[in-house]
Amino acid sequence: MMVVDVHAHFIPTDFMETARRGCALDGVEVRRVDGEEWVFHPQGYSYRLDPEFWDLEAKLRQMDHLGIDITVLSIAPPLFFYWVDPRAGATFCRSANEALAHITRRSGGRLYGLATVPMRNSEVAAEELRYAVLELGLKGAIIGTSVEGIPLEDERFEPFWHAVEALEVPVMLHPYYVGPRPGLSDFYLVNLIGNPLDTSVAVARLILSGFLDRHPRVRLLLVHGGGFLPYQIGRLDHGFRVRPEARRHIQQPPSAYLDRFYFDTVVHADLPLHFLIELVGGERVMVGTDLPFDMADVRFLEHLNTLGGGDSPQEAIRGRNALRLFRIPAGNSDPAAI
């Protein structure tokens, strides 16, 4: 039964080398700590630079060890760089996308990629997406759950969304941060709570603003199991019934829009995964790991094995849904071809 991981990250080798020399974009540095390399952002965030971020052979070995046949890679979210000079951000996106295309071409059909785009300028983001999909062969895009506080339904992003619809490619929404956030500075809450919270807010806004009605062909992949949204969708429906603010732009309850989203399995426990699948359907859930960050779920197969229900739902969640969403030819995934 084929396994496709739709949520894993990479860092371009060239960027990593400039960070080692202390001259990377935004002042990002790579330093050694207790014999290991770490990435340091000047805003305060740091994380270990595992070889699987950049080394093809290390990534393939990790996939083999975990039983993953295909991985869809995307840029590490701290490198979205929406906060830097827009021209520098656009230059980085082009370089990162070309680096991602290079590593996927060398993978023997086991790696595919999602483009990063300079969302501060939607016209340029649309142009970069077209280049990444049509010229480089990338399978869609990854973007933040907001762009420096600007919600994704804002009209300034319309050129990007029109390009997404025209190209008929999916978009992964992923939270990002590089510094502290009020109320979430302690206990690593910036990630533990902040990331799923950001996804929940972004998706609620996309639903309640009428964005999904305006863009009926946009397909969105939500990481970390959709954040808190699946668990609280009944609360949104209740708000739709009792508050005029929540139904100003839509005619259906928020739960009617759940079939516009896809969800990964990164919830780290059996019962939440069971609930998610029962809520949205097995055809809308697919394997994710979040590798190689420390919040990765490397026990995804254990969680999936608790589902029961025969081979058909398992086959869909493990691989078939992702192959369909990203239009990946299943025949290209034979590890023996490498």
Closest CA to 212 of 171, 183, 273: 171
pLDDT in tens, 166-209: 999 999 999 999 988 899 999 999 999 999 999 999 999 999 99
Pairing state of beta strands 171-174 and 150-151? unpaired
Domains of the chain: 4-12+51-333 (3.20.20.140)
Query: What end-to-end distance do the CA atoms of the chain give, in Å?
Result: 19
- pLDDT tens, 280-304? 999 999 999 999 999 999 999 999 9
Q: How far apart are CA 40 and CA 223, in angstroms?
A: 24
Q: What DSSP letter does each residue of 223-234 carry, written as one string?
A: SGGGTTHHHHHH
Chain-centre distance of CA 168, in angstroms?
Answer: 17
Of 221, 220, 235, the closest CA to residue 265 belongs to 221
- Provide the 8-state DSSP code for 147: E
pLDDT band at 335 (very low <50, low <70, confident <90, very high): very low
Q: What is the pTM of this model?
A: 0.94
Give residue 58's pLDDT band: very low, low, confident or very high (50, 70, 90). Answer: very high
Residues 121/147, Cβ–Cβ less than 8 Å? no
Give CA–CA dist 37/304, Å, rounded: 33
pLDDT given at position 334: 43
Q: Read off the tokens for 64.
A: 């083999």
Could you tell me which residues are beta bridge partners of residue 46?
A: 40
What 8-state DSSP symbol labels residue 291? B
